[in-house]
Amino acid sequence: MALAGHIMYWNPKDESLKPLVMQIYRTFISIGFSCRGCLLDALSTLDAMSLLNPSSGILPAMTADNSVSDAERRAEILRTLQDERSLDKSSLYHLDSAVDLDTAASASSFDLPSVLKGNERMRRRSELSRVKAPAVETIELAPLPPIEERAHEQASVGHATGISGEPSLGKVAGGDPELAPPLSYVPSTITEDTSSAVGVISHAQRAKYRLNSRIQFAALCYCFFLEGWNDGSTGPLLPRIQRNYGIGFAIVSLLFVTNCIGFLSGAMMNVYLNHKFGFGKVLVIGSIFQLAAYVLLAPGGPFPIMCVAFSFAGFGIALQNAQANGFVGSLKEHARTKFGFLHASYGLGALVAPLVATYFSTARHWSFHYLISACIAVSNTIVLSAVFRFKTQDDVMAEAGQAAEEPVTSDNLYHQIMRLKEVHYLAIFSLIYVGVEVSIGGWIVTFIEQERGGGASAGYISSGFFGGLMLGRIILMWLNRKIGERWVIVLYALIVIGLEVTVWVVPSLFENAIAVSFIGLLMGPMYPILMNHSTYILPKWLLTGCLGYIAGVGQAGSAVLPFITGLLSSKFGIASLQPFIVSMMSTMIVLWALVPKKRRIE
């Protein structure tokens, strides 16, 4: 047959040979079919001879003796062969078997009933080899939809079996997989959840998110500008307040005491107000309290009214400071850089305010300086209301393209925050830092006037200090990353201590002014680093409350330490300012060493 195939495909060049080739091809085909018939007859004969064995059980009427004649034996054999060949060949293929699902599978012993034994099984196998397997209909399964895996689901899909109640292949009765019932296709009941899928953000949508984020951050920077304006105004006006009311250091320091009460009240109420009203409303409430304080201060009324006004200002600033720091600390992108610019805005306000306050300190209506403060406070309230629209922090962040954080379900937030020792270390560090910052900015003018013989223009030294504070929070970012934020605070603190010693012992107005400016430059990055490090070591679900508490306690330091400075000055003179600052900076280094490097609670 193979030779016939080669002859068929052979194409001779001589056309006259083609009839001869075709005749040879037909001859070989005939010979092949004849050989095939002979082989089939030989196999049938062998099958018949195998039936002659009396132990096979096929011919029960026959016995081992020769009581039956040869003719009758041959007739019985022929009848048996005819009966066997007349069987329905399709009945030999049981579709109930798992083997039948594979159309490429050949006939094998798996297709035979288990009751066949001995030679009969062998005969059936030889007969099956000559039977062509019937075509089995192919079952096309519909494509299953893709299953979207969610981040919060940790259950394995492989455990989901027997969805439709059909028995699996390995769990049929008897343990024989070939006797399993036919498998039926059941459509999958698992559908794709397209509602939770995050769509591709278009370029226009991304640009809108970026614009919203910048507007929100600019509003918070303006809020911090007013806070710096408030702290920078007190120092140049302090000598004029003493002269106007005829009071000494101890009495005038009551302004810082009432301011401290306001800061502490705001820090403690921030968690409750944030949980009850939300981010946007608390910001506006704080701005309204700050505006009310400037309205009370502008007429220049009695000194007790000034104390009440300072408490209102402290309460409002504490709320705004806590919310702004918590918001920036919750950002997932560029939080470190934004902390630097946020607190640089504070330095900018503290830089500009002494320039204006110094002019009003010699004017007839010195309290009109707070009219300017009130105008800025009005604009601040309008900006915060328009940008954040009294929304919660999650809603505001969603407008900037950031997903909402997991909500805190516990009601006892104060208990959770107060149990963290890291919060108290950071809060005390913040209290001392802000206290030192405001003490230098507030009392340095009095120190220069009384100890170095400076005039009314000494108020510009306070501007130099806050100007250095603003620049340090921006231009020293690269150095903070290069050295490491943890060690760079220790380095800055040691240098500041050295510069404070020079202001203490060197009786030079020019040198003291330059040293104070460099002190502000080096102290500038400390507070943003403190807030940024807090985001790494504090639990995420308590971050806003913790940062609010730290910032509120820190703002209380802007009243506590200046008040202590006033008490020391009333007893030992204003020259006690510098040794007090040196001791506080040394305490800051010890506290920073106690702050953990990594998060203790996830």
Which three-class secondary structure string do you get for 51-68? CCCHHHCCCCCCCCCCCC
Q: What pLDDT does 535 receive? A: 83
Return left, alpha or beta for 362; rule: phi > 0 is left, psi -120 to 50 is alpha, else beta: alpha
Structure tokens given for 502: 């020079």
Tell me whether residue 243 is in a domain: yes
Structure tokens given for 440: 């230098």
348: domain CATH number is: 1.20.1250.20
State pLDDT tens for residues 254-271. Answer: 888 898 888 888 888 888
Structure tokens given for 574: 């204003």
State pLDDT tens for residues 267-305. Answer: 888 888 888 888 899 999 999 999 999 999 999 889 999
Look up the domain containing 426 and give its range: 203-594
Q: What pLDDT does 116 receive? A: 45
State pLDDT tens for residues 482-502. Answer: 888 889 999 999 999 999 999
Q: What pLDDT does 217 receive? A: 92
| The one-letter amino acid at 404 | A
Return left, alpha or beta for 334; rule: phi > 0 is left, psi -120 to 50 is alpha, else beta: left
Is the per-residue pLDDT at 131 higher than 50? no
Give the CA radius of gyration of the chain.
Answer: 47
Q: How far apart are CA 12 and CA 24, in angstroms?
A: 14
* Element holding 384 (H helix, E strand): helix 369-388
How many CA atoms are closer than 13 Å to the CA of 222, on its beta-carbon side? 20
Tell me whether residue 275 is in a domain: yes
State pLDDT tens for residues 418-429. Answer: 888 888 899 999
Closest CA to 384 of 320, 444, 438, 430: 320
Tell me whether residue 151 is in a domain: no
Q: How far apart are CA 288 and CA 268, in angstroms?
A: 18
Tell me whether residue 88 is in a domain: no
Is the per-residue pLDDT at 539 higher than 50? yes
| Residue 26 banded pLDDT, cuts 50, 70, 90 | confident
Asked if residues 542 and 417 have their Cβ atoms less than 8 Å apart, the reply is yes
Report the range out of 237-241, 249-253, 286-290, 476-480 with the highest average pLDDT: 286-290
Domain tally, the chain: 1
Tell me whether residue 314 is in a domain: yes
pTM: 0.60
Is the per-residue pLDDT at 355 higher than 50? yes
Tell me whether residue 367 is in a domain: yes
Stretch 121-129: mean pLDDT, rounded?
Answer: 47
Tell me whether residue 93 is in a domain: no
| The one-letter amino acid at 139 | I
Helical residues (DSSP H) of 408-525, grouped into ranges: 413-418, 421-451, 459-475, 477-483, 485-505, 509-523
| Residue 49 banded pLDDT, cuts 50, 70, 90 | low
Closest CA to 558 of 414, 379, 382, 436: 436
Asked if residues 298 and 370 have their Cβ atoms less than 8 Å apart, the reply is yes
Tell me whether residue 255 is in a domain: yes
